[in-house]
Amino acid sequence: MNTTVTVALAVGALVVLVAAVALRLADRIGLPSLLLYLAFGVALGESGLGVEFEDVGLTQTLGVAALVVILAEGGLTTRWADVRRAVWPGITLSTVGVVVSVVVVAAVGVWLLDFSWAFALLVGAVVTSTDAAAVFSSLRRLPLPRRMVASLELESGLNDAPVILLVLALSERLTGHATHAWYLVLAEVVGELAGGSLIGIGIGFGGAWLLRRLALPLVGFYPLVTLALCVLAFATADLAHTSGFVAVYLCGLVLGNAALPHRAGTIGFAEGLASLAQIGLFVLLGLLVSPDRLVDALGPALLIGGALLLLARPLSVLLSLAWFRVPFTQQVFIAWAGLRGAVPIVLATFPIAMDVPGATQVFDTVFVLVVVFTVVQGWSLPAMARLLRIATPMTPRDIDVESAPLDELGAELMQLRVPDTSRLHGVYLPELRLPEDAAVVLVVRDGRPFVPDRETRLMRGDQALLVSARGSRAEAERRLRAVSRAGRLATWRGESGSPSQTD
């Protein structure tokens, strides 16, 4: 066996194990886990254990691959019921908001740091994009208005694409390789975003149709095929010279909201793979940085980060959301919650790979900015929500139903768990009023399975197996969702079990 390969496998395994412990530690002390991963990478690097790593091209390639996985997971775990009313605010934040932030940050760089306009715009573009991984992991644990969180999630999922295109265009201009006028570049960006959207949505719907009709030989193939479809959307869009990042996020969004077999297992697999991608990416970025240079970058990083947090971001949010009747307190929170993470650091490798003059300065500045302001913003989000009085009380949760096809029987096997806040608690099985060709066949309570009868009540924490005819699965799931929200009198209360419209 090749010793180098063995050592690499051992180091990789140790990195994952240490990162898992670090994640638990980060949750306990309220520190964003990405900082611990970055610190681990720095500790392994040239100023720590002495591992020398300066391959910017490999970092960029692996960074793009990691972002693909992270965006796919973000799309798969985003509920359309939550984001449908936030589509236009999210799109506006990821386009108009990006432009405003880039221009404001660039102006600060020109006036206070003596940057040229082209270089200042490049710096602004690199630091503007909010990080999907940071936003998803931080906000989904807080009791916040759904529409507000959905706006932030959509922004973080969609703004990577225009920012990457902008960084590439500005890098080409700074190296003298630009061949088109600015308005032609703008038209090209719009065309790439539109094309990527169409490809991502098309592959998402086509993949959902295929997965519902396939009976794969192993349950573990469903998560693999779902992730493969998302990666295919990225690759297809990129080969078609459109935006692969928009395509992968929208493909994941479509697949994550389709009635797919083994959906819960697929989501769990995607979350685990995205976490692994984050760990590897942050450790790699930590290895790439040279700590000796970071002291010189501290001043510019604090100045640019302060301008971004206190001026550019609030102004971009105000101009983006003024048309959508978003309460002012929520606008303030959205401005504060524009979290940065791996994306700006990965973007900072693009100018280095393209030999842009001063690109190393950009990388060091962005690295310090992300570390400092992730601490400031990440720790303060719960306090900010309480201060602005926008934290929402816990409401009855929708149930998660995982289905698996039983092809030879023309039926569907469904599994559900009764959440602690669900109004399914205490409901007799006949009161569910499931379709005639659907039934609860097994209940597991406190680890003990039993076959229910008409006198069985569902309780908090119960897990249940249901079987229905294939054509009745959607109706049975709607009925379960309705009772979970409104109780046994769901129909009288006007609850149909359709996707939630609550803010």
- Per-residue pLDDT at 501: 44
129 within 8 A of 101, measured Cβ to Cβ: no
- Per-residue pLDDT at 23: 64
Distance CA 45, CA 42 (A): 5
Using DSSP, state whether 122 is helix, strand or coil: helix
| Every domain of the chain and the residues it spans | 3-64+72-195+237-242+259-387, 401-486
Token digits of residue 49: 């254990």
β-strand pairing of 411-417 with 463-469: antiparallel
Type of residue found at 131: D
- Per-residue pLDDT at 182: 62
Type of residue found at 400: D
Q: What is the pLDDT of residues 90-128, one digit of tens each?
A: 889 988 999 999 999 999 999 998 899 989 999 999 998
Residue 439 parent element (H or E)? strand 438-445
- Per-residue pLDDT at 92: 92
321 within 8 A of 113, measured Cβ to Cβ: no
Strand order in the sheet with 438-445: 401-406, 411-417, 463-469, 438-445, 448-450
Q: What is the pLDDT of residues 409-438, one digit of tens each?
A: 678 888 888 887 788 888 888 888 888 888
Going 97 to 371 to 35 to 245, the CA torsion angle's sign is positive
Distance CA 155, CA 307 (A): 20
Token digits of residue 202: 């098309």
Q: What angle do CA 310, 314, 319 make, to 5 degrees?
A: 150
- Per-residue pLDDT at 432: 86
Residue 355 CB partners (closer than 8 Å, separation 6+): 175
Distance CA 19, CA 26 (A): 10
- Per-residue pLDDT at 502: 43
Using DSSP, state whether 142 is helix, strand or coil: coil
Topology classification of domain 401-486: Alpha-Beta Plaits (3.30.70)
| Long-range CB contact pairs, 484-492, < 8 A, 24+ | 484/396, 484/397, 484/398, 484/399, 484/418, 484/419, 484/422, 484/423, 484/424, 485/396, 485/398, 485/423, 486/396, 486/423, 487/423, 487/427, 488/427, 488/428, 488/431, 491/433
Token digits of residue 265: 């297992």
The CA-based dihedral angle spanning residues 415, 418, 419, 422, taken in that order and rounded to the nearest 10 degrees? 130
168 within 8 A of 113, measured Cβ to Cβ: no
Local mean pLDDT, 10-residue blocks, the chain (503 residues): 72 71 62 71 72 76 88 85 82 90 94 91 90 74 81 85 86 76 72 91 92 72 89 94 91 87 78 82 80 84 92 93 89 89 84 88 88 82 87 59 66 83 84 87 88 86 87 84 80 64 43
CATH of 3-64+72-195+237-242+259-387, one of 3.40.50.620, 3.40.1350.10, 1.20.1530.20, 3.30.70.141: 1.20.1530.20
- Per-residue pLDDT at 234: 94
3-state secondary structure 257-307: CCCCECHHHHHHHHHHHHHHHHHHHHHHHHHHCCHHHHHHHHHHHHHHHHH
Residue 3 has φ and ψ, to the nearest 5°, of -65, -40
Distance CA 275, CA 253 (A): 18
3-state secondary structure 457-501: ECCCCCEEEEEEEHHHHHHHHHHHHHHHHHCCCCCCCCCCCCCCC
